[in-house]
Amino acid sequence: MSEHPLLERLNEHQRAAVAADNSAGAGSGKTRVLVHRIAWLMQQRQVSPYSILAVTFTNKAAAEMRGRIEQLMGSSVRAMWIGTFHGLAHRLLRAHYMDVGLPQNFQILDSDDQQRLIKRLIRSMNLDEKRWPAKQAQWYINGKKDEGLRPLHIDTYDPTERTLKSIYEAYQDSCDRAGLVDFAELLLRAHELLRDNRIVREHYQKRFQHILVDEFQDTNDIQYAWIRLLAGQHNQVCIVGDDDQSIYGWRGARVENIQKFLDDFPGAQTIRLEQNYRSTGNILNAANQVIANNSDRLGKDLWTDGGDGEAIDIYAAFNEQDEARYIVGRIEAWRDQGNALQDCAILYRSNAQSRVLEEALLHARLPYRIYGGLRFFERQEIKDALAYLRLLASRDDDAALERVINTPTRGIGNRTLELIRQAARERQLPLWQSAQQLVNEQVLSGRARNAVSQFIELIEQLASHTLEFSLGRQCDEVIKQSGLLAMYEAEKGEKAETRVDNLKELVTACDNFRLDDSEEDLSPLNAFLAHAALEAGDEQADEYQDAVQLMTLHSAKGLEFPLVFMAGVEEGLFPSQQSMDEPGRLEEERRLCYVGMTRAMQQLVITYAEQRRIYGQDFFHKVSRFIGEMPPACLNEVRIQSKVQQPGMSRFHSGASHEAFVQTGYQLGQRVRHPKFGEGTVLNYEGSGPQSRIQINFDMAGSKWLVVAYARLEPC
């Protein structure tokens, strides 16, 4: 087989993996193996694309995989099922909606919708909202679903859990009545379908002779069970994964599934991919050293036959603005050397960190593209518009109705709404039908009755009136007739303007929307709504502009960039405060660090801030332990010089820092030694001359304000 042209550009281990079964290593070409295996199956073994199922975790990965296969094969492979677990589950449920007891037009609930719904239920159950936060209940419900458990499977005497269970029950009832399916439910219901329906199961088992799974370390219980069911006794399953890149434990992923797979599929061969084709020796060494601090690893050491490359730069900023300025300065230098902006990425632990970075990039007029965070379809005004569209698709969608029945305000206040909810509960009906009945029965006061009936009329009007419209015109009509557009137009401020723009952009998005081959069973509206929920609009405009890439460490997995910045590498932020007490979670943070570092191909720059503002409060974090775990020989500490600097001499040198030097004789970020407090970093100053005071963050003693004249400081 090695003479086959498809295998030529793979190394010996990759080659073996293509033709055999499964497994590992960052930058070792896992996805490449998967793609080549699929092509090899088709070309060499005459396997029909019809019998192949390929599963990924993100839409991006799925799209990339399909693209690469088609490129390799030179033709489209529409018959093949490639997609995310959630996308494929959705497809299964659509095809068998009757078997799983769903209405044909069932809608998908995103986690924001889910949380609102749960919150409402907790209120209606007369539970104390302080004691039973919606977020916690949501976490509980999703956790149980990820384990494959329905309320009836939960048997507990723990009073806390009993209450949570009752919320779960009420929530599930509510979803079922309204034809709503959340993310976890997609997987759980698809699994129950395969498990309980022999005919359906055997059909798919017969069909999918070859199953391939990317990033297997991220599978949870239900996803694993899914694969097992589909695999049956005879089908070939090929998985790739890296236990060191397991970073989704918090949402139920189980690394153990890799080991379990080897036990459950006795014929499976393991092939280790340890040669790294991405990063330089320095980066790889440092990453290996960091990850070596974890216990319970399957164990591997990546190596490269490329050179050591540049050392990893470490920059200690005095605050988050300085950190952002430094990064921007480096990016400008990178661009000036003739490099593309899209080849560099700024990675951070939490989305909140992006703002300061964005401001600095904006200020420097550097175009950037931000992944994740508030996505297009998650914006308030877009969700409002989508809720109207959802009502057109399914009147029973309670979540959508709750959202827009009084948006814009049309005189249906809390009191009226409560009556509708109560009637719905008593009669076990969706809100829409309950509202209709109340209007007919004349139980509402004249004013309220009028308002509700007008709302019902509005939706019915929109539905019948736009029946023949294209999706774009339908959307346009909805935002106009509903008064949503007018409402946002009436608001003042920059924010309201962008909301109006976004609504118009939604119309454009509808116009440009094309049905996928696999979605022929759906109406354009339903397909669009599913896209909005499942794909959250990752690909926004400006895709072709050369721009700096900003994203969280989580969303960087699977990607690579010549130049990578990891920002905010501080104790309490990364590793995050919540993970520090629990060893298991700390190890997950360390894997996240490993993932981040191994994204870099040529140069890695790690930054941290001595002082950082987090929701209004100043924090003085220490350097992250992860930096301490890297071998010093691979590192290069960039520091502001403690001697006088010509203004503008260094492009990384901030104006504020120079100003501080003029006033006090010390620069921000400068390291100093105090006879009593030891070493520290200058953070801030006030006043001028000998009476001026400076703020120093001492490594041991914490942050203090000292008068320059009296503090016996010396540079160090």
Partner DNA sequence: ATCTATTTTCTTTTT
Partner DNA sequence: GAAAATAGAT
Distance CA 452, CA 401 (A): 12
Strands 635-638 and 671-674, bridge-based pairing = unpaired
Q: Which of residues 331-350 bind DNA (CB under 7 A)?
A: 349-350
Whether 427 is catalytic: no
Torsion over CA of 312, 313, 318 and 322, rounded to 10 degrees? -120
**Does 44 participate in binding DNA (rule CB under 7 A)?**
no
**Does 554 participate in binding DNA (rule CB under 7 A)?**
yes
Under 8 Å between Cβ of 591 and 294: yes
556 is in an annotated binding site: no
Closest among 264, 254, 299, 238 to 14, alpha carbons compared:
238
Whether 321 is catalytic: no
Q: Which stretch binds DNA (CB under 7 A): 56-64, 234-242, 621-629, 635-643?
A: 56-64
219 is in an annotated binding site: no
**Does 572 participate in binding DNA (rule CB under 7 A)?**
no
Contacts with 584 (C-beta within 8 Å, 6 or more apart), sequence order: 249
**Does 21 participate in binding DNA (rule CB under 7 A)?**
no
Pick from 133, 143, 472, 715 the residue near DNA by CB under 7 A: 133
Q: Which of 14, 56, 236, 245 is catalytic?
A: 245
24 is in an annotated binding site: yes
Instruction: Choose between 576 and 688: whose C-beta lies nearer to DNA.
Output: 576
Q: How far apart are CB 471 and DNA at their closest, in Å?
A: 22
Q: How far is CA 456 from CA 175, 246, 381, 436, in A?
A: 21, 48, 21, 7
Instruction: Choose between 260 and 585: whose C-beta lies nearer to DNA.
Output: 585
Q: How far apart are CB 153 and DNA at their closest, in Å?
A: 21
Whether 676 is catalytic: no
**Does 483 participate in binding DNA (rule CB under 7 A)?**
no
| Three-state SS at 449 | helix
Distance CA 246, CA 697 (A): 35
**Does 585 participate in binding DNA (rule CB under 7 A)?**
yes
Under 8 Å between Cβ of 510 and 389: no
480 is in an annotated binding site: no
User: For the window 602-641, what string marks contact with DNA as x by the rule CB under 7 A?
Assistant: -----------x-xx-------------------------
Instruction: Choose between 1 and 362: whose C-beta lies nearer to DNA.
Output: 362
Strands in 505-663 per DSSP E? 548-552, 561-566, 600-614, 617-619, 635-638
Whether 599 is catalytic: yes
**Does 111 participate in binding DNA (rule CB under 7 A)?**
yes
Q: Which of 383, 599, 612, 625 is catalytic?
A: 599
| Tokens standing for residue 330 | 């480096």
Query: Helices in 640-688 by DSSP H: which ranges?
Result: 655-664
Q: How far apart are CB 588 and DNA at their closest, in Å?
A: 7
Helices 494-512 & 471-481, crossing angle to 10 degrees?
150
**Does 360 participate in binding DNA (rule CB under 7 A)?**
no
Whether 31 is catalytic: yes
Distance CA 449, CA 314 (A): 66
Closest among 628, 588, 560 to 276, alpha carbons compared:
560
What's phi and psi for 368, nearest 5 deg? -140, 160
30 is in an annotated binding site: yes
Q: How far is CA 322 from CA 329, 357, 378, in A?
A: 10, 10, 31
**Does 250 participate in binding DNA (rule CB under 7 A)?**
yes
Q: Which of 146, 185, 215, 535 is catalytic?
A: 215
Whether 30 is catalytic: yes
28 is in an annotated binding site: yes
Q: Which of 31, 58, 270, 289 is catalytic?
A: 31
Q: Which of 113, 146, 182, 214 is catalytic?
A: 214
Q: Which stretch binds DNA (CB under 7 A): 82-90, 209-217, 624-632, 638-646?
A: 82-90
Under 8 Å between Cβ of 244 and 291: yes
495 is in an annotated binding site: no
What's phi and psi for 596, nearest 5 deg? -60, -50
Q: Which stretch binds DNA (CB under 7 A): 154-162, 197-205, 272-280, 548-556?
A: 548-556
Instruction: Choose between 252 and 309: whose C-beta lies nearer to DNA.
Output: 252
Pick from 14, 28, 84, 288 the residue near DNA by CB under 7 A: 84
**Does 86 participate in binding DNA (rule CB under 7 A)?**
yes
Pick from 14, 219, 579, 684 the residue near DNA by CB under 7 A: 579
Instruction: Choose between 59 and 664: whose C-beta lies nearer to DNA.
Output: 59
Contacts with 455 (C-beta within 8 Å, 6 or more apart), sequence order: 405, 410, 412, 435
Residue type, 456: I
Distance of CA 306 to the CA centre of its chain: 32
Q: How far apart are CB 44 and DNA at their closest, in Å?
A: 31
Distance CA 419, CA 436 (A): 12
**Does 160 participate in binding DNA (rule CB under 7 A)?**
no
List % helix, strand, coil for the chain (3-state, nearest 5): 50, 15, 35
Q: Which of residues 377-436 bind DNA (CB under 7 A)?
A: 380, 406, 409-416
Instruction: Choose between 507 and 595: whose C-beta lies nearer to DNA.
Output: 595
Residue type, 633: A
83 is in an annotated binding site: no
Q: 691-694 long-range CB contacts below 8 Å, 24 or more apart?
A: 692/663, 692/664, 694/660, 694/664, 694/666
Q: How far apart are CB 242 and DNA at their closest, in Å?
A: 17
Instruction: Choose between 302 and 595: whose C-beta lies nearer to DNA.
Output: 595
Q: Which amino acids are annotated as binding site, given as ranges?
A: 24-31
Active-site amino acid positions = 30-31, 214-215, 245, 599
Q: Which amino acids are annotated as binding site for ATP, given as ranges?
A: 24-31
Binding-site ranges for DNA (CB under 7 A):
57-59, 84-87, 110-111, 119, 129-130, 133, 135, 183, 247, 250-251, 349-352, 372, 380, 406, 409-416, 447-448, 534, 536, 551-552, 554-555, 576, 578-579, 585, 613, 615-616
